[in-house]
Chain A
């Protein structure tokens, strides 16, 4: 079983449409991060959400952390072709404690925005 369940796995939309990607778990996390990966590159951090219910905006991207800190969503308004890529959520297991930290990713959402 996957610790972090991302949905949808694939998303193909036209430029100008809105979309939402979800990252869900049955576990509670102290924080959650969203990364974006372009073809041939490593993932790059978009945002970190820390507080339950927190909403962060990054231009046309809106990130929300669930009230119970078990899930998160990424909403893109008026998608552009440049938004095409793989979107990944990530949590740091055992972060901040005496145990080691394992950075664990969801399966990812492949977004394709067509002109």
Chain B
């Protein structure tokens, strides 16, 4: 059971380039989330999804887009990379929307924009 898998683990982008961060989970979870974590800081919610075909904005959605065509996959798209998007990105998933449901996290994608 792989859990939540993120690819790539590391990436360097030039300003203005685009890329897609991949996230896949094999736990049949309905809820999926994308966070960014700046050095020494907590995690800020970018986008989340409550099921295939449904996505919504979190705290810091600007500069990002998501899609959820299947239950398993939740890719995060950066269209025009900016230095401010240098961060570590974490994908997470959970089975239910109950208050005590555990969220499972991937190992992160470390992105540097130069």
Give A residues with C-beta under 8 Å from B: 6, 29-31, 33, 40-45, 48, 50, 86, 88, 90-92, 94-96, 100-108, 110
Contact = CB atoms under 8 A, between A and B. Distances in A.
Interface in B13-32: 31
Given A94-B97, A104-B45, A107-B41, 9 more contacts: A42-B90, A42-B106, A88-B43, A92-B97, A92-B99, A95-B99, A96-B99, A101-B97, A108-B42
A42 B98 contact: no
B97 A100 contact: yes
B105 interface: yes
A42 B42 contact: no
B41 A103 contact: no
Contacts, number: 78
Contacts of B106: 42
Contacts of B103: 43, 45, 90, 103
A56 B98 CA distance: 19
Interface in B83-114: 90, 92, 94, 97-103, 105-108
B35 to A, nearest CB: 8
B108 A42 contact: yes
Given A41-B107, A42-B106, A107 B42 contact: yes
Contact of B58 (A50, A94, A95, A102): A102
A100 B50 contact: yes
Given A101-B31, A101-B50, A103-B94, A43 B43 contact: yes
B30 to A, nearest CB: 10
Interface string B61-102: 000000000000000000000000000001010100111111
Contact of B42 (A29, A33, A88, A92): A88
Interface string B33-54: 1010000111111001010000
